[in-house]
Structures are given as structure tokens and as C-alpha cells.
Amino acid sequence: MPRIGLTATNLATDSNAPEGTLPSPQPPSVLPSIPGYRLPVRSGTLAPNEVPMEAAVSSAPKDGDANVAEAANGARRNAFPAVRPEVPECFPDRSPSLFPKQEWAGRVTAIANGTFDARLRDLTGGGREVATIDLEEVSPEDRGRIRVGSLFHWVMGYETISGTRSNVSRIVFLNSPRMTERDLKAGQDWADRLRAKWNLD
Amino acid sequence: MTERNAPHSDEAEVSLFGPGYGECAVVHAGGGDWIVLDSFGPPRERPVALQYLDALGLDPARSVRLIVATHWHDDHMKGLGELVSRCPEAHFCCASALGSREFMSVAAALARTGLPDQGIREIHAVMTHLDQTDAQPVWAMASRRIHRSSGCEVWSLSPHDEAHTSFLKSLAPRPGTVPGRGMHSLTPNQLSVALLVRFGGGASCLFGADLERRGWTAVLRDDTKPRCESSVFKVPHHGSANAHLEGVWDELLEPAPIAILAPWRRGRGALPKEGDVARILACTPSAYATTDATSGATPRDRWVKKRLGNIKAHITPESGAHGMIRLRRAMDGESSWRVDLFGSACHLRDFAA
Ligand SMILES: [Zn+2]
């Protein structure tokens, strides 16, 4: 498996951890159940009964709910006909002596004031989270890869090197897909056709 | 009376949903016609508007007449594509700038690369759906009536030409830059569609979307907008100070209107802040938030919790506790709005900023 990420950073104790070839981490095979959307009745100006608003929970994933873990694993859904996501097919390799305790797949949503915001998918416990992460938590050589839309893999755990155990937190960015002239041309063609159909010219 | 009761045919309803990241409003326009503003849904669930209408025993396919995307930020867009596809009787409305060649080309190109964030992906999905069903958007702009039914009319009050033009300029490819790169750094708040909903009996509601101060200044200056003072105000931009303008409260709202807002929480950032809460409460004592800002932490291994405490990152669950503010009143006569709070919704004075 070729390395597609870049240098990992070891923030806790060891910045020279050897790189190896463990298989890519996978999301949990069975996603934890997410309870249905409920609005238990609470205090209001009236006193409604204690009846939750039941709502069906569809078992199938939703189109609009594409998530970074699946994208990063290549198990992507063809959410919309015109969407052809091209994201790296695997996570970066990591040290053979790294024992992960917690892993996330993330996508950057904003960058500001020495931090970046990201949507996270918890690959260990399941569930979705959001985070503001200091740029310092990313290795200097990786910081240039941080863009809105960039995918990353974040692992916390411990590493044993020559019998010495150290805690690690590594955020490794995947190579972002780039927009090509061909993509832009196809986008323009789509826009021109639809705008003509909608009499916008 | 429970939340499962649909409003009477001659009863207006304004309901605002928000879990702490996400905002959606549904409006009963009278006569069984519904309007949906923006969308969100809990992970792997249907958009909250569809769930709510279902819970009321209504068929969204037959009852939703208008869906408005106020702007394409993620917190207002999740599930929008599904919402539009499930409501074939509804017109879809968004800012006219989204129909520009610049926006559409870049959105489609980004979609091809898999780069776009959720908001742009949802807008692109909606346009693809409209194409397939031979429908087309209603374009929102300053002082334009975008919808009329027997029970109400809806006006877009923004965006103004200036915001439209500067947006298109910002999309133009610049030498040496990747086309479309600018899309991510734009703040679509300036293109937010603020809406005025006027009900048959005379009551009206002002929906502020995420429109910021500059946009409101243009709204106030515009003398072609309909003249009326609203009794309900969906406070813009989650209560942020950068969307507050005294003139809006003085000129566009009744004294002490009902103010409703959906808080916003993202990592370390959160709105409204303590000062925002105080400012809004100084404008009106009747202010409500869709959630009380308590967000449960994700249950986690003790080792991981301890390590997370040592690094510079702040993590919160994507969706906090869900809540709904519901306002109802008879369409005609002098009746006033009745406020019901559900789930984690609270009076703004109880909001923990
Ligand atoms: Zn927002």
C-alpha cells in the first residue's frame, strides 16, 4: 500500500516514530444505533402531555448525509447523479507498534485564528462530532495541506518503541482531490444547459 | 393539546427547530399550506421538517407549498435535497446569485471532484432534482413577493444588488488560483434571504436568516419593501452581535415582539454569547431559544478523556439536545401568539451562554 498521507506527528512524546504498514483502520462494522428523533414535551405556556414526537428512523443512509469516514474508506455512496467524488481510497499507513485507543475520520469545515474546525466521525465509538483543533496539533509539514474540505485521520493511542511506551495523538491529512480544467468545463456545461432551460441568459 | 395536533385551517403556526447546530423553520400559512425555511436532520435521519409534518399526520408531498434555502451554510442545508424531492408541490426558492453561471459552474465542478461541503452539495442536488422534474427555482432578491396563497404572502427582503455583485466578483477565477477555491472562503451570510411572512389576518413574521448588519442596513434603506411591523422575529445569525441593528427592532418590528432563535455551536465557537443574550432580552422580554445550550459529552474511555484534556482541541457532539419553539395564533381577529416549548427549548433568560 503506498503512503498517501504524509509525515505523522507525535505530539505527546516522540516525534520520530517509525512508519510501518498496518492495515487501514475500518469503521465499526455495525454502526451504533442512533435513537429516533424525539421531542419529549417540556414546560411551555401550556402543559402538554408527555408524548414524544415519534419519527421513523430509516435504516438506509441518507443521500445528503455523506460522511467522511465512508468517503475516506472509498465506501462512498453515489449520493447525487452528478457527483463523482474522488477521494483517497485508504488511510495512511501507521507505525506497527501503534495501539489506537480512539480514532476519528475528519473533514475540515473552516480555518481561522490558528485553528481549524472539522466534522468528525468517531470510528471507535460511533457517532458524529464537531471539533475546533489548534493547528499546533498538526505537524508543521502537514499544515500546508489543511484546506476546507480536506480529509484527515486522527488517531490517539500509545506506541511502543524499543520497549518504551509513549502516548500519541496524530492527525494525518490525506491528499485532497483537486479540481481540474475538465471538472470546471463539465461544471460550466451543466450550468449553461440548466441556465438556458431556466431562461436565465 | 400536544405537539401532535395539527393547527386548525385558520390558525397560523411558526415553529423553529434547532439542536445547537442546525436550523429549520416551518410555517403554517393557513388552509393546510406549509412553508419550510432551511433544513437540518439528525445523523442518518430524515429532515426534521418531514418528521414534524409526519408527526402531525400531514403528507408533506401535498401540504408543503414553498421551500426556501436562505443560504448554503451547512447548518441550514442538511437534508435539503431530500426535502425538496419529497415535496413535489412546493416551489423552491433561493438567492438569485445561486442561479449565476459562476455559482452553478463552480458548484457542479466541486461536486464532480467530491470537494464541496454539505451546503453546496445540497444546493447542487436540489438543482439536479429540479432539472430532472422540469421545475425551476424562484429567485429571491430584495423586496420581491415570492409566494402568495389564500392565507399569506411571503416576501424576500434580501439579498440586495450590492451583495449579489460582490459575490459574483469573488467567484471570478483569479490568475494563479484554483478555480472555485474562493467558494469555500466566502461568507454566504451576506447573501442570506431574509423573509417577511404576512398572514391573512394582519400578523406578520420577520425571518432574519443569517443576514448580517450590512445586509440589514440595505433592507432598512430600501423603500420598496412592504411596510409592516412584525410581531415575531427569527433573530438573525443565531443571535450574533454582527447581525444586530437597532433600526431593525425600531422600524420592522412591533414593540417587544416575540424573538426566537436557534443557537449555534461548533467546536469552541458558540452563539449567542452572554452579551448577545443580554442585548436581545433588553429588546424584548419574550425571547426563546430552541435549545438551552447543554450538550452532552460523548461517552468515552477514561484514558482517551484524559488525553483529550491535554491537547489543544475542543470536541462536541454534532447534534445537541433537540428543541422546538412553536407559536400559534388565530389568523383573524386580535388574538396573540401562544408559545409552546418542546424538548430542550427554553426562554432565552434560561439559556446558558
Ligand atoms: Zn447559521
Task: Please give the domain boundaries of chain B with CATH numbers for all domains.
Answer: 11-172+185-350 (3.60.15.10)
Q: Point out the least confidently predicted range of A52-66, A134-148, B15-29, B262-276.
A: A52-66
- In the predicted model, is pLDDT for residue A23 greater than 60? no
The pLDDT score that the predictor gives to residue B172 is 67
Does the pLDDT of residue B56 top 90, yes or no? yes
Measured CA to CA, the distance from residue B26 to residue B29 in angstroms comes to 9
Which of A45, A127, A132 comes nearest B317 by C-beta? A127
For residue A144, what pLDDT is reported?
A: 83
Is the confidence at residue B52, as pLDDT, over 90? yes
Please give the share of chain B, as a percent, with pLDDT higher than 90.
65
Q: What is the C-alpha separation between B98 and B101, in angstroms, rounded?
A: 8
Reported as a pLDDT band with limits 50, 70 and 90, residue A50 is very low
CA of B81 to the centre of ligand 1 (A): 18
Cβ separation A87–B114 shorter than 8 A: yes
pLDDT at residue A73, rounded to an integer: 36
Ligand 1 centroid vs B97 CA: distance in angstroms? 18
Among candidate residues B84, B81, B76, B92, the one with its CA nearest the CA of residue B18:
B76
Q: Which member of B181, B316, B341 has the closest CB to residue A130?
A: B316
> Is A135 in a helix, a strand, or coil?
helix
Residue ranges and CATH numbers for the domains of chain A are 98-173 (2.40.50)
pLDDT value of residue B209: 97
Q: How confident is the model at residue A52 (pLDDT cuts 50, 70, 90)?
A: very low
Rounded to 10 degrees, the C-alpha dihedral A133/A134/A136/A140 comes to 70
Q: What is the distance in angstroms between the Cα of B218 and the nearest Cα belonging to chain A?
A: 25
Q: pLDDT exceeding 70 applies to what percent of chain A?
A: 51
Statement: residue A79 has pLDDT above 50: no
Please state the φ and ψ torsions of residue B288, each to the nearest 5 degrees. -135, 150
Mutation site, B291, B307, B316, B319, interface A, largest A CB count within 10 A: B307
Task: Mark which residues 126-145 of A lie under 8 Å from B by CB.
Answer: 127-134, 136-137
**Selected residue with higher pLDDT from A62 and B63:** B63
Cα torsion through A129, A134, A137, A141, rounded to 10: 120
B109·A184 Cβ contact <8 A: yes
- Number of C-beta neighbours around residue A42 at 10 A: 17
CB pairs under 8 A between A and B: 274
Per-residue confidence at B68, pLDDT binned at 50, 70, 90? very high
Q: pLDDT digits over A98-125, tens only?
A: 788 899 989 888 888 889 988 888 888 7
Residue A144 buriedness (CB in 10 A; 0-12 / 13-18 / 19+): exposed
Given a cut of 60, whether residue A161 has pLDDT beyond it is: yes
Contacts (Cβ under 8 Å, ≥6 apart) of B11? B28, B30, B328, B329, B330, B331
pLDDT greater than 50 at residue A193:
yes
Question: Cα(A198)–Cα(A196) distance, rounded to whole angstroms?
Answer: 5
pLDDT of B320 higher than 70? no
Question: Residue A3 above 50 pLDDT?
Answer: no
Q: Which three cell numbers stand for residue B288?
A: 426563546
Q: CA B223, CA B229: separation in Å to the nearest integer?
A: 14
Contact indicator for B126, B88 with CB cutoff of 8 Å: no
Mean of per-residue pLDDT scores for chain B? 89
Interatomic CA distance for residues B311 and A12, integer angstroms: 9
Give CA separation, A148 vs A23, A155, B134, B179, in Å: 27, 20, 33, 14
Q: Which pLDDT value is given to residue B146?
A: 97
The most confident of the ranges A90-104, B3-17, B127-141 is B127-141
Q: Which residue has the higher pLDDT, A2 or B49?
A: B49
pLDDT tens-digit series, residues B126-157: 999 999 999 999 999 999 999 999 889 999 99
